[in-house]
């Protein structure tokens, strides 16, 4: 059977990059901080059982937010570990090779 061609449809999506993961983490952090500050605010115009369901949904959203952040944190940490430790003092720039044929007498 011939190997199927790779197309946009069957290519695996690229892994999220460092920048997008960090951006999403910050969004989640901000949202969670807001939710933790305000808490669930029941609506006095709604029946008690509706507010109870709302409180449960709020708690579920908070749990999902925490889970997402913990997943992103593990991914970002993995990215850092795979990148490896920075070399002390930074990389030394390679010298360009000298073209001896181009050198004129007495000129370096």
Partner 1 sequence: MLELAFPVYIDNSMLNIWRACKHKHLWSTLFSLYPRGYSIHLTAGGALAAALEAARKYAFKERVEDFETLRRIAYPAFLEAWGDYIEDPNSPKSFVHTWAAFEAYIKRWPPLSDVLQPWIRPNGEPAIEYKFAIPLEDFPHPETGDPILFVGRFDMIGQMEAGNKLLIGPADEKSTGNLAYNWHEKWGMRGQFIGYGWALRQQGIPATTAFVRGIAIQKTQTPLDTAIISIPEHLFTRWEKQLYFDLHSMIAAYNELKEFPELIDEHYPYAFGDACESYGGCAFLDLCTAAQPHSFFSNYQRFLFNPIEGPSQP
Residue numbers at the binding site for partner 1 (CB under 8 A): 18, 22, 25-26, 29, 32-33, 36, 63, 66-67, 69-70, 73, 76-77, 80-81, 83-86
Q: How far apart are CA 104 and CA 7, in angstroms?
A: 55
What's the burial of 34, exposed, middle or buried (CB within 10 Å: 0-12/13-18/19+)?
A: exposed
Residues 53, 40: contact at Cβ < 8 Å? no
- Specify the residue, 7 or 38, whose C-beta has the smaller distance to partner 1: 38
- Specify the residue, 51 or 69, whose C-beta has the smaller distance to partner 1: 69
Q: Identify which of 18, 21, 22 has the alpha carbon closest to the alpha carbon of residue 83.
A: 18
- Specify the residue, 25 or 42, whose C-beta has the smaller distance to partner 1: 25
- In angstroms, what is the minimal distance from the CB of 48 to partner 1? 27
Q: How far apart are CA 50 and CA 62, in angstroms?
A: 18
- In angstroms, what is the minimal distance from the CB of 7 to partner 1? 35
- In angstroms, what is the minimal distance from the CB of 46 to partner 1? 27
């Amino acid at each position: 059977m011939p190997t199927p061609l790779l197309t946009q449809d069957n290519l695996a999506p690229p892994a999220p990059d460092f920048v997008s993961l960090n951006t999403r983490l910050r969004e989640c952090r901000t949202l969670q901080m807001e939710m933790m500050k305000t808490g669930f605010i029941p609506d006095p115009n709604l029946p008690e059982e509706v507010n109870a369901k709302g409180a449960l949904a709020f708690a579920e959203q908070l749990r999902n937010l925490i889970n997402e952040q913990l997943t992103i944190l593990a991914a970002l940490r993995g990215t850092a570990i795979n990148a490896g430790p920075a070399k002390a003092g930074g990389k030394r720039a390679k010298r360009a090779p000298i073209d001896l044929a181009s050198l004129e007498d007495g000129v370096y």
